[in-house]
Amino acid sequence: MKDKGVDFVWFDGQYLKWEEAKVPIFVHALHYGTAVFEGIRAYSSDDNLYIFRLKEHMERLHKSANVYSFTTRFSVDELCKATAELIRKNSIRQSCYIRPLTFVGLHGIDLNVTKNSPTHTTIIIFPFAKYFKGDGISACISSWRRIDDESIPPMAKASGNYLNSVLATQECRRNGYDESILLDRNGNVSEASGENIFVVRNGKLHTPQLADSILEGITRNTAITIAKELGYEVVERPISRTELYLADEIFLTGTAAEIIAITKIDGNIVGNGREGSITKSIRENYENIVTGKSEKFMGWLTPSW
């Protein structure tokens, strides 16, 4: 999105016109990446616009800020209520993307950010449909390694972390691929530039464990829950690069990407080159859940209207 998508944003407890939401060029986050954020989806249905796992996302925003010892000054409940109200204020009824962001403000050039450092929190909303087009994408193994917990915490959803993903994405696009897969420092599969990864082999689902430098994805957790509901075994473990070439199916999970199959990796066809049956079943169940068609999982949805 290159232009404004709506009329209003939420900024530090106020609803401001898009054009009025401004910050000084000397904010600490702009210079040092001291910000944490979330990506949240709201899905239109026949009777409402449902925000998917809103509370869990706002809880993770707080946890990410805590890792870096700065403060999100608004509670989870306050942020959840502000999100729903912002949707109503903008009269949004179509599917949209929600971006909460907490960032360090006028702290100066000192790197000693603390709980007392000034922070701001904003929520931005804009219409959003599909991130990846089609039923399957191509991917390559990036030459860049995933950030490691010994240097920078990958489990915190921090803005600065994503420079790692920018490099990997630039590389894959230059080489004609849709997405990149990063390995961890041990050479095991970590995640894609903005998504978690699942490998299907012999009817079982395998996904990297938290120690493999991954983000603890909320959509990842959703896919694991769906898979177990469908009777599939899910194993969290280190995955070697070679296993990607031997996989029956591979799929990615993420708020923007949702559930998307990888049908070609490093030029090698995955399975039969189309979305596999297990990936399809998980994706279809996910789509039913987020649009309010699954009574069992209505607790994951927050109605906007």
257-303 pLDDT per residue, tens: 999 999 999 999 999 999 999 999 999 999 999 999 999 999 999 99
Written in H, E and C, the secondary structure of the chain is: CCCCCCCEEEECCEEEEHHHCCCCCCCHHHHHCCEEECCEEEEECCCCEEEECHHHHHHHHHHHHHHCCCCCCCCHHHHHHHHHHHHHHCCCCCCEEEEEEEEECCCCCCCCCCCCCCEEEEEEEEECCCCCCCCEEEEEEEEEECCCCCCCCCCCCEHHHHHHHHHHHHHHHHCCCCEEEEECCCCEEEEECCCEEEEEECCEEEECCHHHCCCCCHHHHHHHHHHHHCCCCEEECCCEHHHHHHCCEEEEEECCCEEEEEEEECCEECCCCCCCHHHHHHHHHHHHHHCCCCHHHHHHEEECC
In this prediction, residue 150 has a pLDDT band, given cuts at 50, 70 and 90, of very high
74-88 pLDDT per residue, tens: 999 999 999 999 999
The pLDDT of residue 1 is above 70 = no
Q: Does domain 8-127 have CATH number 3.30.470.10?
A: yes
The pLDDT of residue 35 is above 70 = yes
pLDDT, residue 271, reads 96
The residue ranges of every structural domain in the chain are 8-127, 136-290
CATH fold match for the domains 8-127 and 136-290? no
In this prediction, residue 129 has a pLDDT band, given cuts at 50, 70 and 90, of confident
Give the mean model confidence (pLDDT) for residues 23-44: 97
Class of domain 136-290: alpha beta
pLDDT, residue 2, reads 57
pLDDT, residue 21, reads 94
In this prediction, residue 101 has a pLDDT band, given cuts at 50, 70 and 90, of very high
Residues annotated as part of the active site: 157
